[in-house]
């Protein structure tokens, strides 16, 4: 469980205390005040198991090790491995993965939102990582351009759902093309968390899934699970349910897909 003691330094402990306090006030105050609480912590530099900057109160909780703690054992990467983080946000998984795979490994972090991407790059730099490639692009089944709709918070922007909060057009690329352009051959693990566009993302990874057979960890909305599972099974992958959230967004499932022998 994340707490003030999660901070490694006295400065981080104080900032975490402030975040907890503002989080309580944010939850009790009028919604129109929410962005002012976020502005109060924007740019906070924190140090827990890694160093990271945040852009909002929600960013802190998403980035903390206890968020999605049940997936911790899925991301036990080893030295020299290649990891692809699709929907990297501000770097929760990419930063920690880059430390695990070492200088002989490689991480590709794909994040379409401009604001998130800026924090992602800052977090890569503050941790001194030279093995992590950050790309400000959306992943999909084709190359082109697509509207990215702004979500209720920085972790919920989507190319599939319009929240009525505006949008920005962003570049769109298939993961197969992204990997080829960046000279990434073998891939060991792919994480996909793209707010409803998971099917399109794995379709754009078909060449890699067929030839390199990486393990794929996907967060899938219940409404999309059948077509995602059917597609992966068609590529001779077997699925395993890691956990479910039946009351979140109409139902959410974390799957792990591994290639059949």
| CATH number of residue 138's parent domain | 3.40.50.150
Please say whether the beta carbons of 188 and 101 come within 8 A.
no
Task: Provide the pLDDT for residue 4.
Answer: 65
pLDDT at 249 over 80: no
Residues 10, 95 within the same domain = no
Residues 93, 219 within the same domain = yes
Residues 59, 118 within the same domain = no
- Report the distance separating Cα 9 and Cα 47, nearest Å: 7
Task: Provide the pLDDT for residue 182.
Answer: 94
Averaged pLDDT for residues 151-165: 90
Residues 118, 87 within the same domain = yes
115 pLDDT tier (thresholds 50, 70, 90): very high
Residues 19, 126 within the same domain = no
Of 37, 66, 95, the domain-final residue = 66
Residues 4, 107 within the same domain = no
DSSP strand pairing (252-259 vs 215-221): antiparallel
Query: Using one digit for the tens of pLDDT, what is the confidence trace for 32-86?
Result: 788 899 999 999 999 999 999 999 999 999 998 777 877 878 888 999 999 999 9
State how many domains the chain has.
2
Averaged pLDDT for residues 149-155: 90
Tokens encoding 147: 């509207």
Percentage of the chain modeled with pLDDT above 90? 81
- Report the distance separating Cα 111 and Cα 115, nearest Å: 10
Residues 50, 123 within the same domain = no
Query: Using one digit for the tens of pLDDT, what is the confidence trace for 11-27?
Result: 999 999 999 999 999 88
Question: Which sign does the torsion angle of CA 222, 120, 179, 239 carry?
Answer: negative
Q: How far is CA 168 from CA 56, 70, 90, 163, 165, in A?
A: 20, 33, 18, 13, 10
Residue numbers of the domain that contains 7: 1-66
Residues 13, 130 within the same domain = no
Give the closest residue to 202 by CA, choosing from 222, 188, 217, 181. Answer: 217
Task: Provide the pLDDT for residue 5.
Answer: 67
Task: Provide the pLDDT for residue 2.
Answer: 60
What single DSSP character describes residue 109?
E
Percentage of the chain modeled with pLDDT above 70? 98
pLDDT at 1 over 70: no
How many contiguous H segments (helices) and E segments (strands) does the chain have?
A: 9, 12
Residues 139, 233 within the same domain = yes
CA–centroid distance for 204 within its chain: 18
Q: Report the 10 Å Cβ neighbour count for 60.
A: 25
Q: Full-prediction pTM beyond 0.95?
A: no
Of 44, 66, 88, the domain-final residue = 66
Please say whether the beta carbons of 60 and 46 come within 8 A.
yes
- Report the distance separating Cα 111 and Cα 131, nearest Å: 17
Task: Provide the pLDDT for residue 248.
Answer: 79
pLDDT: is 153 or 208 the higher one?
208
Tokens encoding 192: 């996909």
Show Cβ contacts of residue 126 under 8 Å, excluding neighbours closer than 6 positions: 45, 51, 52, 53
Of 66, 93, 108, the domain-final residue = 66
Residues 181, 209 within the same domain = yes
Residues 129, 25 within the same domain = no
Residues 142, 36 within the same domain = no
- Report the distance separating Cα 199 and Cα 218, nearest Å: 10
């Amino acid at each position: 469980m994340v707490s003030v003691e999660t901070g490694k330094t006295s400065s981080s402990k104080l900032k975490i205390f402030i975040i907890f306090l503002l989080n309580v006030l944010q939850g009790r105050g009028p919604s129109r005040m929410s962005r002012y609480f976020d502005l109060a912590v924007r740019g906070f530099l924190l140090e827990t198991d890694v160093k990271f900057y945040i852009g909002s109160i929600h960013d802190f909780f998403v980035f903390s090790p206890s968020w999605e703690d049940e997936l911790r054992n899925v991301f036990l990467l080893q030295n020299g491995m290649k990891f692809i983080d699709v929907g990297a946000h501000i770097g929760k998984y990419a930063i920690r993965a880059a430390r695990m795979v070492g200088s002989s490994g490689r991480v590709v972090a794909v994040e379409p939102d401009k604001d998130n991407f800026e924090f992602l790059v800052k977090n890569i730099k503050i941790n001194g990582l030279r093995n992590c490639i950050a790309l400000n692009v959306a992943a999909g089944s084709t190359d082109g351009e697509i509207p990215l709709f702004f979500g209720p918070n920085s972790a919920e922007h989507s190319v599939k759902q319009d929240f009525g909060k505006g949008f920005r057009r962003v570049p769109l690329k298939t993961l197969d093309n992204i990997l080829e352009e960046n000279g990434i051959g073998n891939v060991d693990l792919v994480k996909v968390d793209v707010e409803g566009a998971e099917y399109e993302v794995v379709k754009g990874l078909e060449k890699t899934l067929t030839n390199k057979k990486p393990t794929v960890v996907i967060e899938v909305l219940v409404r999309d699970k059948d077509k995602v599972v059917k597609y992966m099974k068609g590529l001779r992958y077997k699925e395993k349910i890691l956990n479910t959230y039946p009351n979140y967004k109409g139902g959410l499932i974390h799957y792990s897909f591994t290639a059949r022998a």
